[in-house]
Structure 1
Amino acid sequence: MPAPAEPARLREPAPADVAGPPHEPDLRHHGDAEVRDAADGSTAPTDLTDLAVNVRSGTPPDWLKARIAASLDGLAAYPDGRAARRAVAARHGLPVGRVLLTSGAAEAFVLIARAVRARRPVVVHPQFTEPEAALRDAGHEVRRVLLDERDGFRLDPGAVPEDADLVVVGNPTNPTSVLHPAGALARLARPGRTLVVDEAFMDAVPGERASLAGRTDLPGLVVLRSLTKTWGLAGLRIGYVLAAPGTIAALERAQPLWPVSSPALAAAEACCEPAALAEAAEAAERTAGDRAHLLARLDEFPSVLAVRPAEGPFVLIRLPRAAEVRTALRARGFAVRRGDTFPGLGHDWLRLAVRDRATTDRFVAALAEVLAS
């Protein structure tokens, strides 16, 4: 009979200016590093299949590239974000005053770290590491709530300290692919606390169930969204914040002038149109089917454990000697994301982006060769 799940644990990270213990993760490591030149200076194979970066393959679509290209004729003028801001507000049924456009969702983490007054910030891990890195860079002492593998990395609201006045959590969470119920997240909201929910991958969830993006009844709620994942715009940098007008105003004061370029604004406006939302919904359904295929193929390997249920466009797996497996897969033409840079995980974890079924089958064949050897 399996051991009962332990509650999530609260841990203190090593201070930013002191070398951490050997297991202290590199918060600045991101998936794009896996598809660039290796740390030893060797050049990345030109035919490397990218399973490390969670940007939907085959994007941006031609119609979106055309809209972005058309905006180039206006580059002589300073960016005007009013139309894009109205489009985002209408997409979520919110007043314009509750929307702030940012240079990717990552900029929002920096703005929050600088503008939100917090004495006891908490980051729920494993999750995207940039929120903690930004908070530490801004001089905050960050506490971690570590979700437990034995509980499926599910959020227990009771594990978050009562005195936390800033809480950051991802939904669906990168890298675990866990989708936390909206009710569980809502329980974290309270007066005097800023609750930051990173929904960068929510548009890859069919129906966007569990989203808090349209909620205005939860005190201190800040929702972050990204347009770079579904639409393939990581190089363009476009995201946005949804929050109460007072919070939006504080974050906007921390921004530099004209932080979002005209091409990025054109993309934001285009991606909020009804046809684009319908296309994103269809893509989410395809991703769900492709993810089910990936999970079924991974079940063929007794030594590979995939975190379930997975709801994002990626899957987290645990297997012995994952670092060696990652290197061997790279030699066979596949880049996968190491997991040990996420707090709460170790060297036996890898993250795989969901791709089409043919790519998955090729990957599984390579994985079989690696595990057999």
Structure 2
Amino acid sequence: MHRPLEPDLRHHGDAEVRGAGADLTDLAVNVRSGTPPQWLRERVAASLDGLAAYPDGRAARRAVAARHGLPEERVLLTAGAAEAFVLLARALPVRRPVVVHPQFTEPEAALRDAGHAVERVLLDAADGFRLDPRAVPGDADLVVVGNPTNPTSVLHPARTLARLARPGRTLVVDEAFMDAVPGERESLAARTDLPGLVVLRSLTKTWGLAGLRIGYALASPGTVAALERAQPLWPVSSPALAAAEACSAPAALAEAAHAAHRIAADRAHLVAALGEFAQVTVYGPAAGPFVLIRLPDAAAVRTRLRALGFAVRRGDTFPGLGPDHLRLAVRDRATTDRFAAALGKALTEG
């Protein structure tokens, strides 16, 4: 009997557009278009005058802590949220790690690289990829879940995730896309009452800083200290620290909140456009800056879309999904209309 092929956990959306040239419209990478804004570029550029000095993260750490109403000792700045997954895998004594899928694959990849045997809890498409806490083994001492989840765009209720927290367990909630949710509803970032909770945030998605690598972890002081000991010296560069401080300021938060409402409206336009195609199933309700769809012969459609000038994210590299799934980043309405026309052609050509 042939075992099914394991998904490529290290495949990411940037592979769909790498080396593609300027003529390919990117719906594969979930970074907000038109970013970073000019004011943020200027703040980062201004930090270059201090590159002769070693990075000092104190101001950025204070800013992030204030942004979430937390004490500074509960904040760890990281080189993107992806670094935090590596630190968690290497620094914490883990016996039975569980990753809830489909979701971002780097947490599982980091755990496997650290020598851990990872168990998967696969959520069911027929149930809208909703999480039932009872599906997670009771003795799991590390549980990783995304919220809103990449790639399904499901926003799990905070009360559901809170049921996963318990003494002796580290509960990692990846909120990399939470600032794209209006009001950041269902966020656990400010919670200090849940044992073992670790909330991860990324500044690369909303602010267009994927090349700068900046994110942070919010956790108990003891967990923060353990993760910090596993970091290399000066893990976050001075320009990235400047960005973290700037993006945590009230004016930046207001801009992000405005962008979240615009993304929600643009996503509704995308879902409506996709609803015109009988062959396309759109999973929802979607809450992130992307949507997951299923359609027959998706791999061939993805190739045809590329020839028509659009890059979309394949879904079969996510555990729990298959070759008929695609992920689409939300873009402005004009781009969506052009994409819908191209999708119509790609489906007709089949």
Same fold (TM over 0.5): yes
Match for residue 283 of structure 1?
A: 259
Q: Which runs of 4+ in 1 moved over 4 A?
A: none
- Matches for 1:131-280 after TM superposition, within 5 Å: 131-280=107-256
Aligned to 1:67: 43
1:32 aligns to what?
A: 14
Q: Report 1:119-130 matches (<5 A).
A: 119-130=95-106
Q: Report the TM-score, using the length of structure 2 for normalisation.
A: 0.99
Q: CA deviation at 1:116?
A: 1.1
Q: What's 2:275 paired with?
A: 299
Amino acid at match of 2:115: G
Aligned residues: 348
Structure 1 spans left out of the alignment, 5+ residues? 1-19, 38-43
Q: Which residue of 1 aligns with 2:319?
A: 343
- Which amino acid letter does the alignment assign opposite residue 6 of structure 2? E
Alpha carbons 1:45, 1:333 under 8 Å: kept: no
The reply on whether 1:81 has 2:81 as its aligned counterpart is no
Any idea what the Cα deviations from partners look like across 1:247-291, whole Å, max 9, x if unmatched? 000000000000000000000000000000000000000000000
Distance 1:341 1:142 in 2: 16
Distance in 1 separating the partners of 2:173 and 2:15? 25
Give the unaligned 5+ runs of structure 2.
none
RMSD of equivalent CA atoms: 0.8
Q: In the alignment, which residue of structure 2 is the partner of 1:17?
A: none
Give the TM-score normalised by the residue count of structure 1. 0.93
Q: 2: CA distance between counterparts of 1:46 and 1:286?
A: 25
**Contact 1:128-1:170 at 8 Å conserved across structures:** yes
Instruction: Classify the secondary structure of the residue corresponding to 2:235.
Output: coil
User: Shift of residue 46 of structure 1?
Assistant: 2.7
Aligned-partner Cα distance in 1 for 2:346–2:304: 6
Counterparts of 1:315-330 in structure 2 under 5 Å? Answer: 315-330=291-306
Question: Structure 2: how far apart are the matches of 1:81 and 1:149?
Answer: 42
- In the aligned structure 2, how far is the partner of 1:303 from the partner of 1:129? 28
Give the Cα separation in 2 of the matches to 1:218 and 1:23.
37
Read off the aligned partner of 1:229 and give its amino acid letter.
K
Q: 2-side partners of 1:103 and 1:143: how far apart? A: 26
2:55 alignment partner, SS class: coil
Aligned-partner Cα distance in 2 for 1:238–1:330:
30
Q: Deviations over 1:153-183 (max 9, x none)?
A: 0010010000100000000000000000000
What's the secondary structure of 2:46's corresponding residue?
A: helix
**CA apart distance, 1:45:** 4.0
